[in-house]
Amino acid sequence: MKIRDIWKTAAGTNALVAIIATAPALAEDSKLEELKAQGFARVAIANEPPFTAVAADGKVSGAAPAVAREIFKRLGVPEIVASISEYGAMIPGLQAGRHDVITAGLFMKPERCAAVAYSQPILCDAGALAIRKGNPLSLTSYKDLAANQNAKLGVPGGSTDEKLALQAGVPRDRLIVVPDGQSGMKMLQDGRIDAYALPVLSINDLVNKAKDPNIEVVAPLKDVPINCDGAAFRKGDQALRDAFDVELAKMKKSGEFAKIIEPYGFSAAAAMATSREKLCAAK
């Protein structure tokens, strides 16, 4: 019987079906093998302490890379290599193959959950504003910002802060996209914006470092939920995401997860009290 005729037999057809059926899974498993061979995982970060940080010497720290570094080590990938990205560019960069995973405090929101494969929750935080001393515009929420026709708000591009401000009714022409924390603080100090929005721990880190008696923090914002991130993988890398989750669950159980994130100010209990399913379903 000629080779080309084998596929016409029942045995040949079953073999062909088996190969086709397992191909995607084999491809998915190969992503971890690819990273092991590469020796590192390329992670997207924002450089927003304490979620993520890059020192002057290039050293990457922050709670999200610290968790990812430990988990990848356990999976046989010894290093992570970080590149800084705006929040709004992280998912397109992941999908274009520029990153292997996003470990940046990218909060789980339905539209993001539809675009990536998130791990289970890692870092949770509420919302905050940096404002001028005395809070002259009485800003305690995005609603207050929407209601004040003159108030200008600084936000990271493509961020949850930006989205929540728009949803609360802050018009686009009073939303200023700020490239990084230092620029945000400078713009606030120069009066070019009236408030700068980030999660509580990020704003506190910036304001503490600024040591400017004319800048204060309003936290938590009344109309911002507790948001949580996860590591974000490409949709096609489900097996890698699942392997990451197995190690994350072990570390949550053993207390090692808390040992890594709590020195940065994050609550392990907050991340363990929720789930990807709940966060991705929340409006």
Residue 154 interacts with ligand 6CS (CB under 6 A)? no
Query: Is residue 160 a contact point for ligand 6CS (CB under 6 A)?
Result: yes
Does position 198 interact with ligand 6CS (CB under 6 A)? The reply is: yes
CA distance 42 to 81: 5
The H or E element that residue 232 is part of is: strand 232-233
The interface region with ligand 6CS, picked from 21-29, 91-99, 194-202, 207-215 by CB under 6 A, is 194-202
Site for ligand 6CS contains 221 (CB under 6 A): no
| Residue with Cβ nearer ligand 6CS (51 or 118) | 51
Exactly one of 62, 105, 181, 230 binds ligand 6CS (CB under 6 A); which one? Answer: 105
Instruction: Tell me whether residue 77 or residue 118 sits nearer to ligand 6CS (CB atom).
Output: 118
* Distance, CA of 153 to CA of 178 (rounded, Å): 9
Tokens 């045995």 found at: 11
The span from the first CA to the last CA of the chain, in angstroms, equals: 61
Q: One symbol per residue from 63 to 102: x for binding ligand 6CS (CB under 6 A), - otherwise; what is it?
A: ------------------------x---------------
For residue 129, which phi and psi values (nearest 5 degrees)? -130, 140
Structure tokens at 138: 């009485």
* Residue 157 C-beta: closest distance to ligand 6CS, Å: 9
Of the candidates 191, 189, 192, which has an alpha carbon nearest to the alpha carbon of residue 212? 189
Q: Which residue, 65 or 199, is less far from ligand 6CS as judged by CB?
A: 199
* Other C-beta atoms lying within 10 Å of the C-beta of residue 167: 12
Residue 51 lies near ligand 6CS (rule: CB under 6 A) = yes
What is the DSSP annotation of 27-41?
HHHHHHHHHHHHTEE
Count Cα neighbours of 210 within 13 Å in the Cβ-side half-sphere.
24
- Does residue 107 touch ligand 6CS according to CB under 6 A? yes
Q: Does 205 bind ligand 6CS (CB under 6 A)?
A: no
93 in Cβ contact with 44 (< 8 Å): yes
Complex with ligand 6CS: residue 87 or 264, whichever CB lies closer: 87
Residue 127 makes CB contacts below 8 A (sequence gap 6+) with 161, 164, 197, 199, 200, 219, 220, 221, 224, 227
DSSP state string for 44-59: EE---TTT-EE-TT--
> How many residues make contact with ligand 6CS (CB under 6 A)?
13
- Assess 49 for contact with ligand 6CS (CB under 6 A): no
Give the whole-angstrom CA distance, residue 6 versus residue 227: 56
Q: Which of 103, 120, 141, 159 binds ligand 6CS (CB under 6 A)?
A: 159
Taking CB under 6 A as the binding criterion, the range among 5-13, 128-136, 157-165, 231-239 that sits at the site for ligand 6CS is 157-165
The residue among 74, 8, 132, 38 whose CA lies nearest residue 248 is 74
For position 120 contacting ligand 6CS by CB under 6 A, the verdict is: no
Residue nearest to ligand 6CS (CB): 105
By CB under 6 A, which span of 15-23, 25-33, 154-162, 244-252 interacts with ligand 6CS?
154-162
Instruction: Give the footprint of ligand 6CS on this chain (CB under 6 A).
Output: 48, 51, 87, 105-107, 156, 159-161, 198-199, 202
